[in-house]
């Protein structure tokens, strides 16, 4: 080490010895001093003093936030109107409608992959999914509450129902049409909206809801309900699923009994359909009040009504 390097080390050591060490807490700003008397008129000493009467609960806040149902405009016989009425709002919530549309859309996506797979049997699954989607959009269009996609529900209803009708057979042309619907649904769910805004003014259930695929859909819902309502523990775990499926069963019972639907003028058939709808509502109500035994009993009654209907009608 040469002389210059030694001198540099000596200087650095000297500087470090001269500069005082600053503690971390000395670098922080001191805490402000505030006179408590000056805060008396700004903050409450006790949180309960902030409320007049009883403090709000989560249940009371939810009840206040829930939109009030509009006055019923349903004509006699329980038929729906184009602008919506209390029928659908008493059967299914906007959340259940939105969740099921998204779920069925994914199911539909999975069967529209290649022309070969579609023409070999995928068209039957596509028909099922599109019939359900068209029916759900018809309900959304008439539902009095604010449901997502409501402003385009009528257009989606008509567009999808036409393709569902064509999916009674498999062909390259039908596959291409189904592929277009796949893109439309993706745009709708993603928020871009439909390119076509055209729609019929009235809801013609006979052109929307084909009974055969809807009955198949009902079977799938009931199977899922039975799995989700095996016991109290399962019901608690699958509460959202059981609620949505019971609401959808209630909706299906009403759709199948709408004017013009197959056998809707048959009193026995109409009663079976609406009994299934009532049992779906009963399951939803039992779930809300936490009566798990009533949930299981209600699901069993739904199965009985469905089996009784299938014995006579298809």
Task: Report if residue 40 sits inside a domain.
Answer: no
Identify whether residues 169 and 182 lie together within a single domain.
yes
Task: Report if residue 245 sits inside a domain.
Answer: yes
pLDDT of 43 strictly over 70: no
Task: Report if residue 195 sits inside a domain.
Answer: yes
Identify whether residues 232 and 274 lie together within a single domain.
yes
230/224 Cα distance (integer angstroms): 10
**Residue where one domain finishes, among candidates 151, 179, 207:** 207
Instruction: Tell the residue number behind the tokens 């109500």, with chain if given.
Output: 285
Task: Report if residue 13 sits inside a domain.
Answer: no
Identify whether residues 184 and 229 lie together within a single domain.
no
Tokens of 296: 């299981």
pTM (global) more than 0.75: no
Identify whether residues 159 and 241 lie together within a single domain.
no
DSSP string, 231-271: SHHHHHHTHHHHHHHHHHHHHHHHHHTSTTSTTTT-HHHHH
pLDDT at res. 201:
85
Instruction: Identify whether the C-beta of residue 159 lies closer than 8 Å to the C-beta of residue 204.
Output: no
Task: Report if residue 191 sits inside a domain.
Answer: yes
Torsion of CA 208, 214, 218, 223, to 10 degrees: -130
Q: What total of structural domains would you count in the chain?
A: 2
The length of the chain in residues reads 314
Q: Closest by alpha carbon to 194, among 157, 158, 162, 156? A: 156
Higher per-residue confidence, 31 vs 21: 31
Identify whether residues 302 and 232 lie together within a single domain.
yes
Higher per-residue confidence, 4 vs 290: 290
Identify whether residues 113 and 190 lie together within a single domain.
yes
pLDDT at res. 279:
93
Tens-digit pLDDT profile for residues 247-268: 999 999 999 999 889 888 889 8
Lowest-confidence range among 72-86, 129-143, 286-300?
72-86
Identify whether residues 252 and 190 lie together within a single domain.
no
Identify whether residues 231 and 188 lie together within a single domain.
no
Segments forming the whole domain that contains residue 192: 86-207
Identify whether residues 200 and 151 lie together within a single domain.
yes
Tens-digit pLDDT profile for residues 175-185: 999 999 999 99
Identify whether residues 133 and 221 lie together within a single domain.
no
Identify whether residues 162 and 275 lie together within a single domain.
no
pLDDT of 118 strictly over 60: yes
149/237 Cα distance (integer angstroms): 29
**Residue where one domain finishes, among candidates 162, 180, 207:** 207
């Amino acid at each position: 080490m040469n002389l210059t390097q030694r001198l540099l080390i000596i200087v650095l050591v000297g500087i470090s010895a001269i500069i005082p060490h600053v503690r971390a807490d000395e670098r922080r700003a001191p805490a402000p001093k505030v006179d408590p008397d000056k805060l008396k008129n700004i903050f409450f000493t006790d949180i309960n003093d902030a409320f007049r009467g009883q403090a709000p609960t989560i249940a009371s806040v939810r009840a206040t936030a829930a939109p009030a149902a509009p006055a019923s405009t349903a004509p006699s016989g329980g038929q729906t109107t184009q602008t919506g009425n209390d029928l659908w709002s008493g059967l299914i919530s906007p959340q259940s409608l939105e969740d099921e549309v998204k779920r069925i859309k994914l199911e539909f996506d999975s069967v529209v992959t290649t022309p070969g797979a579609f023409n070999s049997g995928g068209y039957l699954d596509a028909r099922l999914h599109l019939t359900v989607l068209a029916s759900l959009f018809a309900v959304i269009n008439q539902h009095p509450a604010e449901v997502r996609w409501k402003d385009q529900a009528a257009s989606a209803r008509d567009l999808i129902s036409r393709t569902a009708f064509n999916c009674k057979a498999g062909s390259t042309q039908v596959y291409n049409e189904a592929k277009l619907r796949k893109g439309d649904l993706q745009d709708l769910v993603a928020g871009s909206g439909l390119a076509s805004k055209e729609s019929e003014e009235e809801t013609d259930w006979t052109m929307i809801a084909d009974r055969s695929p809807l009955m198949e859909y009902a079977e799938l819902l009931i199977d899922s309900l039975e799995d989700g309502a095996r016991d109290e523990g399962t019901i608690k775990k699958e509460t959202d699923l059981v609620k949505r499926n019971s609401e959808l069963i209630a909706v299906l019972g009403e759709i199948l009994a709408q004017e013009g639907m197959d056998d809707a003028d048959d009193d026995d058939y109409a009663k079976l359909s609406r009994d299934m709808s009532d049992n779906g509502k009963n399951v939803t109500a039992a779930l809300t009040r936490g009566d798990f035994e009533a949930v299981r009993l209600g699901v069993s009654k739904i199965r009985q009504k469905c089996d009784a209907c299938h014995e006579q009608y298809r």
